[in-house]
Amino acid sequence: MITAPVAWNDVAPETNTMAQTVDPQPQDAPADRLLAVAAGREVEAEVHESVFRESPVVEVDRFNLWYGAKQALHRITMPVPLNKVTALVGPSGCGKSTLLRSVNRLNDLVQTVRVTGDMRLNGDSIYDPRMDVIELRKRMGMVFQKPNPFPMSIYENVVYSLRIDGERNRAVLDEVCETSLRGSALWDEVKDRLHESALGLSGGQQQRLCIARAIAAEPEVLLLDEPCSALDPIATGKIEDLIQELRGRYSVLIVTHNMQQASRTSDYTAFMYLGRLIEYGATPDIFTKPVLRETEAYVTGRFG
């Protein structure tokens, strides 16, 4: 459990002190950035101007996270634009998933996790001690790496978040079920067997069901944690098409290992490395004219 989710102001001086102790390095020498990061030195993130022109739905504000004694996220500061698709890319272990799971505070479930800094969802502090984490999670939807439909019918899976809110009105449930399944492009495939077990669906269908479940409660932000990593190319294609359709209606934060996927589906891309944000900007810029050589090396597959 997180013992004390602390407001940013309380920890600012400490973090600043840490920053000052860092060995001053010529930050304009891009070739050395990754080495500097690996050596544990502070590196300024290269955040493009275009990101700040969007209105943010989630603002990550100097966010640090530790698993026990090991720091997994270092001073992440990034806005997530409203109604856009934002991709988090980076090599394994760079903290993409940790960052994603911090947005809906799923990391609270891990006993050894400790955080400083803050995130804001539409202006509300996520790590405010007064924030009810259950109410917070109701404002977000999340889809995991492996499809995890619940052991119940397709219908009940989709309306799960309404059920736990005590919604009993059949008409409301039916409507939400249909809208969400249509939204996740699954309706035509399952409309005749809504009351059969969700575990009988194929992996790709299960994942789209999980997306339907995530959008059923009209989330303010949709968190996708490598949603295609357990799927075959055809199912992956369908999920990517779906993300294209969700774009503009939902704010999506997606973690992916697949550079093509990031370039195809996202509006903005953030490159992370060893728990630090390295470069963040509009997807075309990141993939075609990144500021940093390291980013270019990574997105073109020359490292990582």
3 state DSSP class of 46? strand
Output b/e per residue, 161-184; b: 16+ Cβ within 10 A.
Answer: bbeeeeeeeeeebeebbbbbbebb
Q: Tell me if 135 contacts other proteins by CB under 8 A.
A: yes
Distant-in-sequence, close-in-space partners of 206: CB < 8 Å, separation ≥ 6: 147, 149, 198, 199
Burial of 197 (0-12, 13-18, 19+ CB in 10 A): middle
Among 2, 106, 215, 282, binds other proteins (CB under 8 A): 106
Applying the rule CB under 8 A, the residues between 246 and 275 that interact with other proteins are none
Give the residue with the Cβ less far from other proteins, 41 or 163: 163
Phi, psi (rounded to 5 degrees) for 48: -70, 155
Q: Tell me if 142 contacts other proteins by CB under 8 A.
A: yes
Segment contacting other proteins (CB under 8 A): 11-19, 33-41, 205-213, 259-267? 205-213
DSSP string, 259-303: HHHHHHH-SEEEEEETTEEEEEEEHHHHHHS-SSHHHHHHHTTS-
Among 152, 185, 291, 297, binds other proteins (CB under 8 A): 152
Among 33, 75, 114, 137, binds other proteins (CB under 8 A): 137
3 state DSSP class of 150? coil
What CA dihedral angle connects 36, 40, 46 and 52, to 10 degrees?
180
Give the residue with the Cβ less far from other proteins, 186 or 217: 217
**What's the longest Cα–Cα distance across the chain?**
64
Q: Tell me if 213 contacts other proteins by CB under 8 A.
A: yes
Q: How far is the CB of 151 from other proteins (least distance, A)?
A: 4
Among 203, 244, 260, 284, binds other proteins (CB under 8 A): 203
Give the residue with the Cβ less far from other proteins, 152 or 291: 152
Q: Tell me if 197 contacts other proteins by CB under 8 A.
A: yes
- Tokens (6 digits) for 26: 């010529």
Q: Tell me if 193 contacts other proteins by CB under 8 A.
A: no
Give the residue with the Cβ less far from other proteins, 32 or 218: 218
Between CA 174 and CA 5 the distance in angstroms is 39
Give the residue with the Cβ less far from other proteins, 147 or 290: 147
Among 102, 206, 251, 295, binds other proteins (CB under 8 A): 206
Q: Tell me if 93 contacts other proteins by CB under 8 A.
A: no
Chain centroid to Cα 14, Å, comes to 27
Q: Tell me if 210 contacts other proteins by CB under 8 A.
A: yes
Letters for 225-244 (x = contact with other proteins by CB under 8 A, - = none) are -----x--------------
What angle is formed at CA 126 by the lines to CA 176 and CA 41, rounded to 5 degrees? Answer: 130
Among 109, 169, 241, 293, binds other proteins (CB under 8 A): 109
- Local structure of residue 110 (DSSP, 8 states): S
Q: Which residues bind other proteins (CB under 8 A)?
A: 104, 106, 109, 111, 134-135, 137-142, 144, 146-148, 150-152, 160-161, 163-165, 197, 199-200, 202-203, 206, 210, 213-214, 217, 223, 230
